[in-house]
Amino acid sequence: MNESIDQYLGFLKILSKECAFKSVSAIEYRDEYIRDSFINGLLSNNIRQRLLENNTLKLEEAVTRSRALEMAQKQSEVYSMPLTQGSVNALTEDTTSMIKPDNNQPTVSAIQQKCYFCGYDRHPRSSCPARDAVYKKCDKKGHFLKVCRSKTKSDSAFVSMATLACVTATVPGLLSKAIIRVKVNNINANTLIDTGSSNSFINEEFVQIHKIKSYPENGQVLLATTAYSSNLKGYVLVDLLLQEHTYKNLKLSILPKLCSDILIGHDVLRTHSSIDLTFGVPKPPLSICNMTFVNIKPPRLFNNVVKDCKPVAVKSRRYSDEDAKFIREEVTKLLYDNIIEESTSPW
C-alpha cells in the first residue's frame, strides 16, 4: 500500500481504541520486564514452551510454574537413570542389612527398587503417598521420616535452660554467710543480702503460701548475664524487721524461683552507712568506699592581692550615742521637709 508514516500511525491509533488497555504503575512495568527476561533466559525449552501457553501470565505465576516444571523434570530424570550397584546398595540398605546371604542359593539377578520419597516399592511419583507430606524436623516437602537424610537439631538449648532453673531453686552453700533471718509481716523468712542487686525481691511461692496481698507490675529482671532474664509477677508492700531495723511499707517485687524467701538489694542497703559481713578468716577486712580523697591545694583567700601589698588602717565608723542621736534627728527633719528621700539600698 502507498501510505505515509503518518497515515500508518493514525491507522494504528484507531485500532488501539478497540483494545482494553488499562493504566499500570512502575512496579507493574518492572514485573513485566522481569517476567519477559525470565522466560527468555530459561535454559529449558520445554519449560519456556509451557509458560508461553498462557495468554496472561504474571511474574509470580511464571516463577511458581517454572519451579514445579523444573522439579518434575529432575524427578523424571531420576527415574530414567540406569540402575547401578551403588544405587541398589543405597536403596536397599535397611532391608539387606537384616538378611543373611546364603551361599547355597544362586545370586539374585534383580533387586526390587525402593521409592526415594516414601521408602516403599517403586511406583509412579503421582501416586506416591509422600508427595504432599511435610517432615517437620527438616521443613521439607515430599518425603517421609525413614528416608530423610537431614541432621536432627540439637537440644542443648533446652538443657541449659533446665540447668539454670535447678541452680536457682536452692541457695548455694557459699552464700550461707549472707543469709539472715528476718520477719516479714511477723512471718519468719530467710533473707539473702545481695550487694549486686539494685532492687529487693520476694519469692512468688512465699507470697502464695502466706497469702500476702500483691499488686500488678510488669517488667523484666536481668540476671548475672544479660542472656537470661526473669519476668516480674507483681509486687507487695510489707513491714520488714531486719535485726533492730524496721522498714514500713517496703516494696518487694515478686520474682519466681528466687534462691531465698527474700532478697535485699541496694534500695534497702543504701539507707545504711555500711554493711558488715563476717566470714571468720585471717585476712584483713576489705573496705570498698565510693568516696575518694581529693588531692587539691586549698585556694588563697586574697588571690587578687599582690604579695607586696601593705594593709591600710581604717578608723571605726561607729558613732557615740550622742552623735548617733543628733544624726537621727537631723535626718528626720530633712525627710519631713522633703529635702531628702529615704533609700532602700542595702549599702
Quick one: DSSP state of residue 177?
A: G
Residues 6+ apart with CB under 8 A from 50: 65, 69
The bridge status of strand 229-231 relative to strand 140-141 is unpaired
* pLDDT exceeds cutoff 80 at 216: yes
pTM > 0.95: yes or no = no
Q: Please check whether residue 340 lies inside any domain of the structure.
A: no
* pLDDT exceeds cutoff 80 at 93: no
What are the distances in angstroms from CA 175 to CA 67, 206, 280? 63, 20, 14
Average confidence score pLDDT of the chain: 75
The three-class DSSP label of residue 264 is: strand
Q: Please check whether residue 252 lies inside any domain of the structure.
A: yes
**Which of residues 87 and 271 earns the better pLDDT score?**
271
CATH number of residue 270's parent domain:
2.40.70.10
Let me know whether 292 and 180 are in one domain. Answer: yes
Q: Please check whether residue 27 lies inside any domain of the structure.
A: yes
Q: Please check whether residue 183 lies inside any domain of the structure.
A: yes
pLDDT in tens, 14-70: 776 776 667 777 788 788 888 888 888 888 888 888 888 877 888 888 888 888 888
Q: Measured between alpha carbons, how far is 164 from 148 in angstroms, rounded to an integer?
A: 34
Q: In residues, how long is the chain?
A: 347
Q: Measured between alpha carbons, how far is 184 from 264 in angstroms, rounded to an integer?
A: 12
The pLDDT of residue 153: 44
Percent of the chain with pLDDT over 90: 11
pLDDT in tens, 181-210: 889 999 998 888 888 788 899 999 999 999
Q: Please check whether residue 126 lies inside any domain of the structure.
A: no
Q: Which residue among 300, 318, 333 closes a domain?
A: 300
Q: Which residue among 36, 57, 79 closes a domain?
A: 79
Q: Do the Cβ atoms of 172 and 161 come closer than 8 Å?
A: no
The pLDDT of residue 222: 76
Q: Please check whether residue 95 lies inside any domain of the structure.
A: no
* pLDDT exceeds cutoff 70 at 89: no
Q: Please check whether residue 330 lies inside any domain of the structure.
A: no
User: What is the domain range of residue 185?
Assistant: 175-300
Number of domains in the chain: 2
